[in-house]
């Protein structure tokens, strides 16, 4: 063994000696332009040159071979496409009760007769014979749909009559109809508000208003819910000493009755601030039109504010008027601008004629029967009285609001947990006492951060026994759940 190892060791030692001699040679310590170049620099230079050479070479690509049918099948079996939408989380699926009759004060839900406090039938006009007769006559004359937008042969005389009727009722110069109630406000806002404009909005506005604010691409600043001190502070900060602000368009966006709380906006104070800081006001009246004011003309009548001081008024007709669609009303200039600039008006098929007829009949009914408002307010006051001592819950809404909003006295700290409690209450009230109510479900798109609650929609068609029944049921169930 030693005889084999010694020759290898001697050869290795001789090779190392030669390498050492090369590095100690005069060339390895040459002087070029006054710089001493050692042997290791030569080696490093060679290494750098080799690296650059390798990087500059084209990458090796193996020759392409067509896949066999078996390989193609295996790849197809293994491929998992991305889902078109994210999976529905546990608890997010909504199984709503199904109505099997008209959504009047009493209705049929899943085969059971119930008292209905979940439909915004404020004036009790669902099932009104005169409104039904007007719809039947309209269907016989015009058919069901219009089959075209207003600007492309979709304008029917009943549309013009309805617009004139609404404008005359509210005391405005003109009005414009929309085919879908919720699309009214989120078409109107971006029709007037553009990128670079400033919008100051209440933090409690509902999703349709939020969507309009987003579509406008304006700079949006929120003030505390129904807090005029917060609104005044923001308006002051935006305008004080800011010459740039004076040159751009500025808006205040509020709801007359807030869907997410049942609170009523103090219009007199809003108009005062609007005039002081030179803002325009966009007022959403879906839950106040036909409800507030001596004759149901809305928030302006309620506060005695001249309607012309409100720049833009919008409302859905699916609540008090018990029809569908929406309208915007104001000056002729405001209305005419929308006929070419509002997407919901320009690109949607016009409102079915029979719904416009129903809206006119509902306004006529309100003018001819003002006592219906007294019945509604009496029912609201009675419900407030009966629920004043409900265990675990409290009323957060205004005494004149047809939305009686109940929220937890002691929240759990989690909106999800709060909503689960409220849904349990609503479900037990329906299953055990045949009273139909609804908790405030909000989608992931809704950015409102107000407390969740139970909304009771009061109708002029409810009887005292209906009020007593829902009150007794809620008290009993809330005591056992909260």
> Which pair of structure tokens corresponds to residue 285?
């009246």
Residue with tokens 């490093």: 44
Last residue of a domain, one of 336, 368, 400: 368
Is residue 352 in a domain?
yes
CB-neighbour burial class of residue 35 (10 A; exposed 0-12, middle 13-18, buried 19+): exposed
Q: Which residues contact 250 (CB under 8 A, 6 or more apart)?
A: 197, 198, 199, 200, 238, 239, 277, 278, 279, 280
Q: Is 60 helix (H, G, I), strand (E, B) or coil?
A: coil
| 406 bridge partner residues | 395, 454
Residue with tokens 């015009």: 142
DSSP state of 149: B
Within 10 Å of residue 309's Cβ, how many Cβ atoms?
15
CATH number at residue 226: 3.40.640.10
Domain co-membership, 358 together with 383: no
Rg (CA), the chain: 36
User: Rounded to an integer, what distance in angstroms lies between the CA atom of residue 235 and that of residue 240?
Assistant: 8
Domain co-membership, 375 together with 294: no
Is residue 23 in a domain?
no
Domain co-membership, 277 together with 383: no
> Which pair of structure tokens corresponds to residue 103?
């959504």
Residue with tokens 């006592």: 371
> Which pair of structure tokens corresponds to residue 203?
């933090």
> Which pair of structure tokens corresponds to residue 4?
């084999």
Sign of the alpha-carbon dihedral angle for 307, 315, 210, 400: positive
Q: Which residues contact 41 (CB under 8 A, 6 or more apart)?
A: none
- pTM, two decimals, is 0.82
User: Rounded to an integer, what distance in angstroms lies between the CA atom of residue 451 and that of residue 333?
Assistant: 39
User: Rounded to an integer, what distance in angstroms lies between the CA atom of residue 223 and that of residue 6?
Assistant: 92
Domain co-membership, 182 together with 302: yes
Can you spell out the DSSP letters for 403-456?
A: EEEEEESS--S-HHHHHHHHHHHHHHHHHHH-EE-EE----TT----SPP-EEE
User: Rounded to an integer, what distance in angstroms lies between the CA atom of residue 230 and that of residue 225?
Assistant: 9
Tens-place pLDDT, residues 291-323? 999 999 999 999 999 999 999 999 999 999 999
Q: Which of 374, 387, 318 is nearest to 351 (CA)?
A: 318
Domain co-membership, 290 together with 145: yes
Phi, psi of 298 (to 5 degrees): 105, -165
Domain co-membership, 396 together with 294: no
User: Rounded to an integer, what distance in angstroms lies between the CA atom of residue 8 and that of residue 317?
Assistant: 102
CA angle 257, 260, 261 (to 5 degrees): 65
Question: Which strands form 326-330's sheet, in the order they lie side by side?
Answer: 174-178, 326-330, 312-316, 280-284, 250-255, 198-202, 219-223
> Which pair of structure tokens corresponds to residue 307?
């309607």
> Which pair of structure tokens corresponds to residue 455?
């909304």
Domain co-membership, 359 together with 375: no
Domain co-membership, 151 together with 288: yes
User: Rounded to an integer, what distance in angstroms lies between the CA atom of residue 60 and that of residue 387?
Assistant: 80
Domain co-membership, 375 together with 405: yes
> Which pair of structure tokens corresponds to residue 391?
């265990």
User: Rounded to an integer, what distance in angstroms lies between the CA atom of residue 454 and that of residue 100?
Assistant: 23
pLDDT at residue 133, rounded to an integer: 96
Is residue 81 in a domain?
no
Domain co-membership, 269 together with 282: yes
> Which pair of structure tokens corresponds to residue 479?
């005591």
Can you spell out the DSSP letters for 321-381?
A: TSS--EEEEE-HHHHHHHHHH-HHHHSSBPPPHHHHHHHHHHHHHHHH-THHHHHHHHHHH
pLDDT at residue 58, rounded to an integer: 65
Residue with tokens 């409810």: 462
What is the domain extent for residue 192? 129-368
User: Rounded to an integer, what distance in angstroms lies between the CA atom of residue 465 and that of residue 460?
Assistant: 13
Long-range CB pairs of 152-155, under 8 A, 24+ apart, other chains included: 154/349, 154/350, 155/350
Total number of domains in the chain = 2
Is residue 89 in a domain?
no
Regions in the chain scoring below 70 on pLDDT: 1-43, 58-63, 90-94
pLDDT at residue 8, rounded to an integer: 44
Last residue of a domain, one of 324, 342, 368: 368
pLDDT at residue 71, rounded to an integer: 85
Tens-place pLDDT, residues 152-173? 889 999 999 999 999 999 999 9
Domain co-membership, 389 together with 406: yes
User: Rounded to an integer, what distance in angstroms lies between the CA atom of residue 233 and that of residue 426?
Assistant: 39
Is residue 136 in a domain?
yes
Last residue of a domain, one of 316, 333, 368: 368
């Amino acid at each position: 063994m030693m005889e084999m190892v010694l020759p290898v060791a001697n050869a290795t030692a001789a090779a190392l000696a030669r390498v050492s001699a090369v590095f100690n040679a005069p060339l390895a310590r040459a002087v070029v332009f006054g710089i001493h170049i050692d042997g290791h620099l030569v080696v490093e230079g060679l290494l750098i040159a080799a690296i650059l050479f390798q990087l500059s070479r084209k990458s090796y690509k193996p020759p392409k071979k067509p896949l066999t049918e078996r390989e193609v099948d295996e790849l197809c079996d293994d491929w998992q496409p991305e889902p078109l939408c994210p999976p529905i989380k546990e608890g997010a699926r909504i199984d709503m009760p199904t109505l099997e009759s008209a959504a009047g004060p009493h209705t049929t839900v899943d085969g059971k007769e119930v008292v209905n406090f979940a439909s915004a039938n404020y004036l009790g006009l669902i099932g009104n014979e005169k409104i039904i007769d007007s719809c039947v006559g309209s269907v016989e004359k015009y058919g069901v749909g219009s089959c075209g937008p207003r600007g492309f042969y979709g304008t029917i005389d009943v549309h013009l009559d309805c617009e004139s009727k609404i404008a005359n009722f509210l005391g405005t110069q003109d009005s414009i109809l929309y085919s879908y109630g919720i699309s009214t406000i989120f078409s109107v806002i971006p029709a007037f508000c553009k990128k670079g404009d400033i919008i100051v909005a209440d933090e409690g506005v509902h999703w349709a208003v939020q969507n309009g604010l987003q579509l406008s691409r304006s700079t949006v600043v929120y003030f505390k819910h129904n807090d005029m001190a917060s609104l005044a502070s923001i308006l002051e900060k935006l305008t004080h000493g800011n010459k740039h602000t004076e040159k751009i368009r500025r808006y205040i966006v509020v709801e007359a009755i807030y869907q997410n709380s049942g609170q009523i906006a103090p219009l007199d104070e809003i108009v005062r601030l609007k005039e002081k800081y030179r803002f325009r006001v966009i007022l959403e009246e879906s839950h106040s039109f036909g409800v507030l004011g001596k004759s149901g003309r809305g928030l302006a009548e309620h506060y005695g504010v001249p309607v012309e001081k409100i720049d833009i008024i919008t409302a859905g007709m699916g609540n008090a008027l018990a029809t569908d669609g929406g309208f915007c009303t104001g000056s002729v200039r405001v209305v005419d601008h929308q006929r070419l600039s509002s997407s919901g008006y320009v690109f949607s098929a016009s409102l079915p004629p029979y719904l416009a007829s129903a809206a006119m009949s509902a306004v006529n009914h309100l003018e001819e029967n003002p006592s219906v408002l007294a019945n509604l307010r009496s029912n609201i006051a009675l419900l407030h009285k009966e629920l004043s001592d409900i265990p675990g819950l409290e009323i957060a809404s205004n005494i004149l609001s047809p939305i009686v909003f109940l929220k937890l006295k002691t929240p759990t700290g989690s909106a999800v947990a709060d909503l689960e409690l409220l849904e349990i209450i609503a479900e037990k009230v329906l299953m055990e006492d045949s009273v139909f109510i609804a908790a405030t479900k909000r989608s992931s798109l809704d950015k409102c951060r107000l407390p969740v609650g139970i909304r009771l929609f009061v109708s002029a068609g409810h009887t005292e026994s209906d009020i007593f029944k829902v009150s007794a049921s809620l008290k009993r169930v809330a005591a056992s759940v909260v």
